[in-house]
Amino acid sequence: MSMTLGIPTQDEPALTQLERDEEGFLLNTHDWHPDLINAFAAEDKLEITAERREIVDYIRDYFEKNLSVPEARTLLKHLQTVWGKDKATRRYLYQLFPRGYGQQACKIAGMRKPRKLMLDV
């Protein structure tokens, strides 16, 4: 089993080859690749819908530009401009990620385990 540029080849299990903490968060955010989204989501028994994918993509884009994970309120401000007020709520975010923004969305996006709880406040 080999890795090419951090991307698992077809003959290897994607997530088992990555260094992760006891909760399944990546230890190195650079190990993440978009092809891992479905595998991470499947671990949490989530289907990647267009809305979930948009959130994961936003987290990754924000991280690439700022080298930090966006707080939930930052994400909600963004979603308000994209989805409108009705869907840009903490309640709706929890419908999409029942275990929480930090625990599921950030994990699927390949982030390290959030240190501060502000992500879910």
CATH of the domain at 82: 1.10.10.370
Predicted confidence band of residue 85 (pLDDT cuts 50, 70, 90): very high
Residue 12 domain flag = no
Is residue 91 assigned to a domain? yes
Distance (Å, whole) CA 47 – CA 63? 23
% of the chain residues with pLDDT over 70: 84
Which residue range is the domain that position 85 belongs to?
17-120
Decide: helix, strand or coil at residue 26.
Answer: strand
Number of domains in the chain: 1
Q: Identify whether 99 is part of a domain.
A: yes
120 φ/ψ angles, rounded to the nearest 5 degrees: -105, 5
Closest by CA to 21, choosing from 99, 110, 109, 89, is: 110
- The answer to whether residue 11 sits within a structural domain is no
Please check whether residue 4 lies inside any domain of the structure.
no
Q: Is residue 9 part of a domain?
A: no
Is residue 29's pLDDT more than 90? yes
CA angle in degrees (0–180, nearest 5) for 72-63-78: 40
Stretch 73-95: mean pLDDT: 95
